[in-house]
Structure 1
C-alpha cells in the first residue's frame, strides 16, 4: 500500500469532485449550522485529503470516537490510525497531516470556548464556564483533576491540571491545591474533574476530598466556590447538590 494522497488521475477530476462543490455550496447557502456532523467533518478534511472521498472517513471517525467532542479529545495517534484504516494506506505523511489538521481545529475550538470564561468573572458567566469544562474534559479517557484559580473579582488567573490518573482515580492533595492558590495570590477557586465512565454523579471519595480542600482553604481565607464533575451525561455541581 502507498501513503496517501494519491495524485489526481490523469483521466480527469475524481468522481467525488462534484460532491465537494455541492457540499460547499450547501454550506454557503444554508449555513454551516445546517450541516450534520459528518458533513462538517467532510468539509474540514477537504484541505488535508484533497484527492479522496472524505465522507467514509468522516463517518468512521464519528463511529469510532462517538461524537465531534470525542474526536477532539482523541490522541493524534488514534486519529491517524483511523485515517489510514479508512483510506487503506499505511500511516505516513498524509495520515499525519489529516490528524494534525483535526487536532488544530479542535484545539482552536477549545481556546475559543475558554475565552469567555477568562475574560468575564467566572461566577457570573456560568454558561461559559460549563461550556468550557465540558469541551476540556467531557471525553477525556482518564480521570483528570483541575483547579480554576480566581482572583478577588472571580476572574480566571489559571486553569491548572493538578493531577492525571487512571480511568477511575486521580490522586489529589488538599495542601498542594491550597499552596498553589497562595503562590498565585488566588482567593477563590473552582475544582473540576471528570468521570471517564460518563456518569457525573459524585462518589463518596469526591465529597470527602472536596470537604478537605474547603477546610484547608478556610484556614487561609481561600474560598472554594464549587466542585464540578464532568461526564458525557452532563456536569454536576456539588454546591447545587448541597454537598459542600
Structure 2
C-alpha cells in the first residue's frame, strides 16, 4: 500500500516579474503535478534549477539532460518534454500572429526555447512577408558543437518559393558565449549580399546561448 500523502499547494505567481523563489515554487508545483507521489518535490525543484538556471531553461533542456537530474526510472523528463512542446507551440503562435518589429523580445524568447539548450549547433531561418509576418520557421542545418553547415543559395531558393521578402537568421552557440564570431559575421554578410541580388532582405541574425541572445541588428552589424 502506498504511503503517499497529499501535500499542501504551492503558491505560484502566474504574471508579473519572476524571481528565483518564484521559479522554485513553479517547478516544485510542476513536479507535484507530474508525479503526485514524488517523495521530495522541493529538493528535485532545487536540483533542476541548480542544473539549468531557471524554469524556462529547464523546459528548453533535452530529455537526456533532464534524465540526469530526475532519474531515468521516472516519467518526469518525458512529461516535461510534452510541457516544453506546448510552450513552444504557444511561442510559435505568438510569433506567427505579430510582426517581428513589435515582438522582438518574444521572438528571442522563442528562439531561446527552441535552441538555447541544444548540444549541437543549429541554423534556422524565419521567412517573413513584407509586413514582417511569419511565413515559415525552418531548420536549415545542423552540425557539431561549434559548427553547422549553411548554404545561402538554398536559403534564398526557399525564400523565393515561399515568396518571402525578409529573413531572420538564427543559430545557437552550444559550447560558448553567444557573441558572433568572425565566421558568423562573414557568413551573414554573404547571405545579405546574395539576398540583395534576389530582392530578399536579411532583417536580423540572432544568436542564442547560455540563457541570453545577441542580435546583429541591435549591435549595428546590419546597418
The two structures share one fold, judged by TM-score above 0.5:
yes
Deviation at 1:134, TM superposition (A): 2.3
Structure 2 gaps, min length 5: none
Task: Check the 8 A contact 1:199/1:233 in 2, yes or no.
Answer: no
Deviation at 1:149, TM superposition (A): 0.3
**What is the distance in 1 between the residues matched to 2:121 and 2:145?**
6
Out of 27, 32, 49, the position equivalent to 2:35 is 49
Q: Which residue of 2 aligns with 1:3?
A: none
Task: Check the 8 A contact 2:57/2:113 in 1, yes or no.
Answer: no
- Given the two structures, how large is their TM-score scaled by the length of structure 2? 0.87
Q: Which residue of 2 aligns with 1:36?
A: 22
Q: Which residue of 2 aligns with 1:206?
A: 184
- Given the two structures, how large is their TM-score scaled by the length of structure 1? 0.80
**What is the distance in 1 between the residues matched to 2:211 and 2:28?**
27
Q: Trace 1:70-219 onto structure 2 (pairs within 5 A).
A: 70-84=57-71, 91-92=72-73, 95=74, 97-219=75-197
Spell out, residue by residue over 1:191-237, the C-alpha distance to the aligned partner (whole angstroms, 9 max, x if none): 11111234221111111101111111111111111111122252222
Q: How large is the RMSD of aligned CA atoms in angstroms?
A: 2.1
- Runs of 4 or more, structure 1, over 6 Å off, are none
**What is the distance in 2 between the residues matched to 1:193 and 1:81?**
26
**What is the distance in 1 between the residues matched to 2:163 and 2:41?**
50
Higher mean displacement: 37-46 or 142-151: 37-46
- Count the aligned residue pairs: 217
Deviation at 1:64, TM superposition (A): 2.6
Q: Trace 1:62-73 onto structure 2 (pairs within 5 A).
A: 62-73=49-60
SS at match of 1:36: helix
Quick one: structure 1 residues 185 and 109, their matched pair in 2 at CA, closer, same or farther if it must change by over 3 Å? same
Deviation at 1:56, TM superposition (A): 1.8
Spell out, residue by residue over 1:35-58, the C-alpha distance to the aligned partner (whole angstroms, 9 max, x if none): 532221121111332222212222
Quick one: structure 1 residues 77 and 140, their matched pair in 2 at CA, closer, same or farther if it must change by over 3 Å? closer
Task: Check the 8 A contact 1:45/1:98 in 2, yes or no.
Answer: yes
